[in-house]
Amino acid sequence: MIFVAALKATTTTTTLMPSCQSHCGNVSIPYPFGIGAGCHIQGFDILCNTTFHPPRPFVGDMGAELIDISLIPGEARVYKHIDWICYNKTDYVDYDLISVNLTTRPVYKISSTRNKFTGVGCGTSTYVLDDIEYLHYASGCVTFCDSLASAMNETCAGSGCCQITLPKGLKSVVTDFDIGWLNNTLVWDYNPCSYAFVVEQDWYNFSSADLIPGHLNSTNQRGVPTVLDWAIGNRTCEEARRNLTSYACVDKNSECLDSTNGRGYCCKCSRGYEGNPYLSNGCQGTQDDSFRPGACYPENLPLAVKLIIELLTGWKALYLEESGTKRSLALSFILATKENNVVDFWTAMLEMKKKYKPVKKSPT
């Protein structure tokens, strides 16, 4: 991870300068992403194209237009081109295939759980190809319909539309069509084109109108949404913590999560906090607003709850972690009750009792 002029970085703090843009047009760009030098972690740069009105963000030099970014889970949604091929009775006559290549952007992978590879057509045999960790991968699906009317709307089970899941670790997608598997004379007069694309799961709703030449592209001129998983670096949380100068979970109220799609990790705010764990003081408490300075309990906590907590745990409701972070046992209990998670709450508290020390009750 590289911090340059606009960032102040130490082993414990990361603060963005006010000059860093927080939005491009209507899209929020949260750190570790950023626009311009010094406003992002290496590999998370976003280009803001101001020739559009409003401006549109793009993922670095990939040319993929960014739809939005999610910190938890670590996802970025982008528009993906719809590949197509058109043919006559004997051969193809035109095509437009644009591959997705993330090899120059190692922080991203194509999500295997949030996307589907989709084929559309009445005589379509389409394939998705990639090299995963130097192991060749190929898969595909086939569609058929003997007329536009026979295509089954709102389903992708093979009649006009087919879908398959994708494997973990995809860094690139190359689409191909096999127009020889079916004699084109059977379909070309009512369906002379086939389509293929990687699309966000449950987003695409097949319609027989999509079999009409040009309809699918004209109604999705910017492409279809595709979900990319992203992660910091290529280390696990355990490995990353060994080098605090590059460890990205800088807020003291944050936690580290290993990536579920290859190596790397993401950060999240600890329970009871929300915000941006990649920035110092980025995680703000959501359940401690009722504390008075020096008090062991929130004023509005019922006496019965205070007594139960002390009797069962032997603790006061306000305690310190080893890091010095204040925690509200009482409010954690209330939150666990709302989430129907009381048993797990007490189990966790008893297991952590050896690790934490209670705060002495302040004299009143």
Residues 10, 3: Cα–Cα separation, whole Å = 10
Whether residue 328 is contained in a domain is answered as: yes
Q: Quote the pLDDT of residue 44.
A: 95
pLDDT tens-digit series, residues 275-291: 999 999 999 887 544 33
Contacts of 109 (CB under 8 A, 6+ apart): 102, 168, 169, 170, 171, 228, 229, 230, 231, 261, 262
**Is there a single domain that holds both residue 5 and residue 96?**
no
pLDDT(197) > 50: yes
Whether residue 41 is contained in a domain is answered as: yes
Whether residue 107 is contained in a domain is answered as: yes
Q: Residue 5 burial by CB count (10 A; 0-12/13-18/19+): exposed, middle or buried?
A: exposed
pLDDT(356) > 50: no
Cβ count within 10 A of residue 61: 10
Q: Is residue 158 very low, low, confident or very high in pLDDT (cuts 50, 70, 90)?
A: very high
Q: Residue 4 burial by CB count (10 A; 0-12/13-18/19+): exposed, middle or buried?
A: exposed
Cα–Cα distances in Å, from 203 out to 35, 118, 260?
29, 11, 22
pLDDT(53) > 50: yes
Whether residue 364 is contained in a domain is answered as: no
∠ Cα 205 72 330 (to 5°): 125
Q: Is residue 313 very low, low, confident or very high in pLDDT (cuts 50, 70, 90)?
A: low
Indicate the range of 85-94, 119-128, 233-242 predicted with least confidence.
85-94
pLDDT tens-digit series, residues 219-276: 999 999 999 999 999 999 999 999 999 999 999 999 999 999 989 999 999 988 999 9
Domain span at 258: 236-286
**Is there a single domain that holds both residue 90 and residue 201?**
yes
Joined tokens for residue 33: 């992403």
The total of structural domains in the chain comes to: 4
Joined tokens for residue 22: 């927080």
Instruction: Judge contact between 210 and 216, C-beta under 8 A.
Output: yes
**Is there a single domain that holds both residue 66 and residue 159?**
no
**Is there a single domain that holds both residue 266 and residue 125?**
no
What's the gap between Cα 264 and its chain centre? 13
Count CA within 13 A, CB hemisphere, residue 327.
22
Mean pLDDT of the residues in the chain: 80
Q: Quote the pLDDT of residue 62.
A: 75
**Is there a single domain that holds both residue 57 and residue 84?**
no
Cα–Cα distances in Å, from 5 out to 10, 20, 221, 352?
13, 11, 39, 41
Whether residue 27 is contained in a domain is answered as: yes
Q: Quickly list H helices, the chain.
A: 215-219, 237-240, 303-313, 329-338, 342-352
Question: Where is 66: in which H helix or E strand?
Answer: strand 66-70
